[in-house]
A and B are shown apart, each in its own frame.
Chain A
Amino acid sequence: MIEVQNITKRYGRTTAVDDVSFRVERGEILGFLGPNGAGKTTTMRILTGYMPPTEGRATVAGYDVFTHPIEAKQRTGYLPETPPLYPDMTVREYLDFVARIKGVPSRERRDRVTSAMQRTHVADMASRHCSKLSKGYRQRVGLAQAIIHNPEVLILDEPTAGLDPKQIIETRELIRGLAGDHTIVLSTHILPEVAQTCQRVVIINRGRVVAIDTPEGLTSRLQGAATLYVQVDAPGVDATETLQGLPGVSRVALSDQRDGVRGYEVESARETDIRREIARAVVSRGWGLLELRPMRMSLEEIFLQVTTEETPEEAVSEQRP
């Protein structure tokens, strides 16, 4: 349904998106996870035809977004980070206008507007001006706008940002409800969100894809091994065997060596902390223990940057002025 091939976007000298590729199958919900400024919005803007990539190509529903923009856009619904509402229109007027520019035939327009309002639960606000809507309603009207022409593909940029917990739950349910008929790409910087709504996750950081997997797959990867870095001053002696012999150690590898000082990577099961045992073993043999620290995988680093818990404060600070 969606195919992204080696997309790169540069602004002057900075590279916002660097060689990103992924696929989304029909009816799937794909989560785009990454810290703020990772390149999520840029990738989505390229997918929706808002801006062209510097390199690479993207197809939506079989149409290249750059060479056949009209066809691709007809099949795409897009909710940008801030819902693109016109403050002086009422919700109904606004949705009617969007239906018009998305090419909904005039005799179907009324029904489409009504059904989009019902699906997103904004019908009670139909004659209210967009400027008078609360944040939660603005987001939902934004969602109504995205589905109004019944597109095959939905692209949602941080659909739950700035909502209160109750609204977040409602919005997620709404998105899951849309999944059957639509192929959905949504971005978020909140870890539990992808686990709850998405079937597959693309983790992106500094413009690069770090991992593509199912939420379960990612979790098990994270719960895998922990690695320690140990530097030992023991001239002429290889400490590999000693370290290997310690309980809980699954693998030891020599990583660097200089003037009799050797560095080792020691892998162990995640739950067991074997630093004390290592220190004792090294010291008891009369060697110098110069360094002992945990090594992080890049995936884990990203996970530490993305929010692992949802807090109301976080939701508030995310609101753009």
Chain B
Amino acid sequence: MNSVRNVLAIADKELRSYFASPIGYIIIGLFALLFGWFFYVYLTFFVQRSTGMAGMGGGATNINQDMIRYVLMNSAVIILFVMPMITMRTYAEEKRSGTIELLLTSPLTDVQIILGKFFGAMGLYAAMLLVTLLYMGILFIYGNPEWRPIASGYLGLLLMGGCFISLGLLISSLTKNQIVAGVLTFAVFLMLWVINWIGDQSGPTTRVIVNYLSIVDHFDDFARGIIDTKHLVYYLSFITFGLFLTAKSVDSERWRG
């Protein structure tokens, strides 16, 4: 009970700090804008294609598979670019300003602090995704897409974002400088995204391993409307492992002084 309270206190503080400065608004606005752009491009493309198909007298098109899926897959890439801005300050800024001394001398465990920061960042991320539901609403007004694949797509986005956040927290906990944290986080995210480009060129065994490592690759099935335990396990264990390493990093900092 107490530990939940502590986690919530930190999460609340983190979430507020995003909106105390323009950063929260900028991130949400930027994401909504880019998402809207992809939404527009794929919608136009989809409309053209379906009217073309209808003219040829055949070939059903499905808005879930032929449009929404691509919008969500592309938004995964935008998230990859936006996420370092969310996570870079989490630990680095506390260390620089000395407020980490307040947290570490309060009756909180390291895990409570880390979970608080994780859920705080997840809160902002959820707000980002919530705004994009407006676009989906438009589709429901003018058409009748299926909601289940959309729901699984958003679940996938949440989990994928969770991986980015846990990794971002880890990197932020390694430095005092939030710019260093941001750049490093971005580089690592990019690596984890493009790693499957190497996979496509190499032999079958390497490809399987490399594709497995790519965070974005695991999202494909969610976007298609498939919730596969394999991917769930991957994402959840990735998040747990990232948070675990963050705890170790915070603890080792303590020993080094």
Contact = CB atoms under 8 A, between A and B. Distances in A.
B177 to A, nearest CB: 15
A73 B6 CA distance: 14
Contacts of A159: none
A49 B102 contact: no
A11 B104 CA distance: 19
A101 B104 contact: no
A84 to B, nearest CB: 4
Given A50-B254, A73-B107, A101 B9 contact: yes
Interface string B64-107: 00000000000000000000000000000000011111111111
B230 interface: no
Q: Which of A45, A101, A102, A145 has the most CB of B within 10 A?
A: A101
Contacts of A51: 254-255, 257
B257 A84 contact: no
Interface in B104-151: 104-109
Contacts of A97: 9, 13
A78 B21 CA distance: 28
Given A70-B109, A73-B107, A74-B107, A84 B102 contact: yes
A52 B254 contact: yes
A84 B101 contact: yes
A89 B20 contact: yes
B181 interface: no
A46 to B, nearest CB: 10
Interface in B129-183: none
Residue from B5, B102, B105 whose CB has the most chain A CB atoms within 10 Å: B105
A87 interface: yes
Nearest to B20: A88
Chain A interface residue bracket vs B:
20 to 34
Q: Is the interface of B mostly helix, strand, loop or mixed?
A: helix
Contacts of B102: 78, 80, 84, 98, 145
Nearest to B256: A11
B97 A84 contact: yes
Contacts of B106: 73, 98, 101-102
A52 B105 contact: no
Contacts of A11: 256-257
A126 B107 CA distance: 25
A169 to B, nearest CB: 26
Given A11-B256, A70-B109, A97-B9, A49 B20 contact: no
B17 interface: yes
B201 interface: no
Interface in A1-47: 9, 11, 16, 42, 45
B113 to A, nearest CB: 9
For chain B, the bracket of interface size reads: 20 to 34
B98 A80 contact: yes
Interface string B9-29: 110010011001100000000
A100 B9 contact: yes
Interface string B223-256: 0000000000000000000000000000000111
A257 to B, nearest CB: 47
Interface in A69-115: 69-71, 73-74, 76, 78, 80-82, 84-89, 93, 97-98, 100-103
A36 to B, nearest CB: 17
Nearest to A54: B255
B49 to A, nearest CB: 48
B106 to A, nearest CB: 5
B205 interface: no
A268 interface: no
A160 interface: no
A157 B20 CA distance: 29
Interface of B: 2, 5-6, 9-10, 13, 16-17, 20-21, 97-109, 254-257
30 contacts: A11-B256, A16-B257, A45-B257, A48-B105, A49-B104, A51-B254, A51-B257, A52-B255, A69-B107, A71-B107, A73-B107, A76-B105, A78-B101, A78-B105, A80-B101, A80-B105, A81-B98, A84-B98, A84-B100, A84-B102, A85-B97, A87-B97, A88-B17, A89-B16, A97-B9, A98-B102, A101-B9, A101-B103, A101-B107, A102-B107
Given A84-B97, A89-B17, 7 more contacts: A81-B98, A82-B98, A84-B100, A86-B97, A87-B97, A88-B20, A98-B106
